[in-house]
Amino acid sequence: MLTIGEFSRLTHLSVRTLRRYHEAALLEPAVVDETTGYRYYGVDQIPTAQVIHRLRELDVPLSDVQRILRTPDPGVRAALVTDHLRRLEDALDRTRAAVVSLRRLLRPDPAPIDVELRAEPARTVAAVEAVVGHRDMATWFAGAMAELEAAVGAAVTGPPGGIYDNALFEQERGHALVYLPTAAPPRTGRVHPTVLPAAELAVTTHVGEHDGIEVTYGELGTWVVENAMSVAGPVREVYVVGPRDTSDPAAWRTEIGWPVFRVT
């Protein structure tokens, strides 16, 4: 038997933590002296304590730690750990995106953006569209684009793009449409032909992955206010170079088109 202090040193779990885990029925001592209340642990409990220590370092909730330890099914244990790791990865992605944006925002002398006033003609494309919540956008986009690519195949005639209603930004839920240009848009599943209306746009290019694209939006919006008259209408994006073209995010290029009246 090991005293709680000895067990603490062997497992790198503090005495206070071991007491808390006992109270939570997460890691109970092998023996508790009825007279003194002293806790004693067996050497066979060391691996379990080490597993708990690592899981808690990953911020796995105590309730999930209990489920992982108590389930006899290795598949269930693996699934619980995998779900938590996925949540950690999502949190890391959000942190990285925030860091990218802050670095751009805190530059002492940001470079001016290049903006082109462009008249886009009306054209018919293959599209998938829906009303989408802002938080669901990435998942919806990936599924819609995969369906478009499967339907259009080699008949694609240009880079993909998207049109996003103002409500998607203002109310966190709105109409979104993604498309692929093709000479003969098919109609299958969610994919259908649709006409992109003609538009006058102020266009700039966001360099790199989408982390930090809101900074480019802000810079373009500033330019529009200072140089043109913004009009009601959805924002457009064209994915000139993206994951389908190269695995190097630094090479990705996204055109952002802001609806405007031309100033003459």
Give the count of beta carbons closer than 10 Å to the beta carbon of residue 83. Answer: 12
Positive or negative torsion for Cα 104, 105, 111, 114: positive
Amino acid identity for residue 119 in this structure: A
- The pLDDT assigned to 198 comes to 94
User: In the chain, which residue ranges form alpha helices assigned H by DSSP?
Assistant: 4-11, 15-23, 46-57, 62-70, 74-105, 137-152, 166-170, 213-227
Q: How far apart are CA 40 and CA 63, in angstroms?
A: 24
User: In 72-159, which residue ranges form alpha helices assigned H by DSSP?
Assistant: 74-105, 137-152
Amino acid identity for residue 27 in this structure: L
Q: Is 109 exposed, middle or buried (0-12, 13-18, 19+ CB in 10 A)?
A: exposed
Q: How far apart are CA 94 and CA 152, in angstroms?
A: 32
Is a pLDDT exceeding 80 seen at residue 144? yes
Per CATH, the architecture of 2-70 is what?
Answer: Orthogonal Bundle (1.10)
- If one compares 211 and 24, the residue with the highest pLDDT of the two is 24
Q: How far apart are CA 178 and CA 211, in angstroms?
A: 19
CB 252 within 8 A of CB 230: no
Residue range 91-100, pLDDT digits in tens: 777 777 667 6
pLDDT class for 115, splitting at 50, 70, 90? Answer: very high
Is a pLDDT exceeding 60 seen at residue 264? no
Please identify, in words, the CATH class of the domain defined by 116-262.
alpha beta
CB 140 within 8 A of CB 98: no
Sorted by where each begins, the domain ranges of the chain are: 2-70, 116-262
Q: Is 247 exposed, middle or buried (0-12, 13-18, 19+ CB in 10 A)?
A: exposed
User: For the chain, what percent of residues have pLDDT higher than 90?
Assistant: 52
